[in-house]
Amino acid sequence: MEKAFWLNKWLSNEIGFHNPEAHGLLVKYFGQLKLTPGSRVFVPLCGKTLDIGWLLKQGFSVCGAELSEDAVIQLFEELAVEPEIVEVGPLRRYGNECIDIYVGDIFHLSREDLGPVDAIYDRAALVALPEAMRHQYTQHLIHLTDTAAQLLITFDYDQQRMPGPPFCVSDQEVAQHYAADYQLVLVDSVEVPGGLKGKCPAQEKVWLLKGK
């Protein structure tokens, strides 16, 4: 998946993947991570998701990574937060005392620059990447966060019926990426109402990953 694909999506406002409210599965299951207030949550490939606002309202600190600077600018505008903008190597960090979003290629984000992370919330990152990139991404995420606990949401559907993104990530593939480093618990599996993009039946699956 070329970077230009996602940058063009934001430039042309083709963001049907952007939910108009906090994700219901986040609201329902994030508590299973058993985090204390003030814990720092990493949201990879975050866009301008309203999930970030929900996490902030629960008393968590949020950090994220996003390729599109347009998305990050809109995120802070919608949060009504004036960010401090700092160059961090090849990336640009937008942030204040409760939120830090790194703009640029997530693979250029270092563990040292990101800092300590207590948990990961991945709703739109793993499923946004083509199969050839997913192993690189998951290994980078594990290293970046020192195997922080994770709430992961995936899609499972017949990839032959519809090209991604979002891509199908099967239970077996989740295990291939994460079973060596995490205890994996499939918390829930729910049908996508009307099918994925109205084209084919799909399940949205909620995973809880805790370090061994």
Find the helix packing angle between 69-79 and 3-11, rounded to 10°: 40
- The conformation of residue 200, written as its DSSP 8-state character, comes to B
Q: Which regions in the chain score pLDDT beneath 50?
A: 1, 6-7, 10, 14-18
Q: Which domain holds residue 52?
A: 3-14+21-211
Total number of domains constituting the chain: 1
123 annotated to bind ligand = yes
Q: What is the pTM of this model?
A: 0.92
45 annotated to bind ligand = yes
- Residues 126-169 have pLDDT tens digits of 999 999 999 999 999 999 999 999 999 999 999 999 988 899 99
Residue that the structure tokens 């049908």 belong to: 191
Residue that the structure tokens 């998946």 belong to: 1
Cα separation of 180 and 27, whole Å?
28
Q: CATH number of the domain at 190, please.
A: 3.40.50.150
List 15's β-bridge partners, or say none. none
134 annotated to bind ligand = no
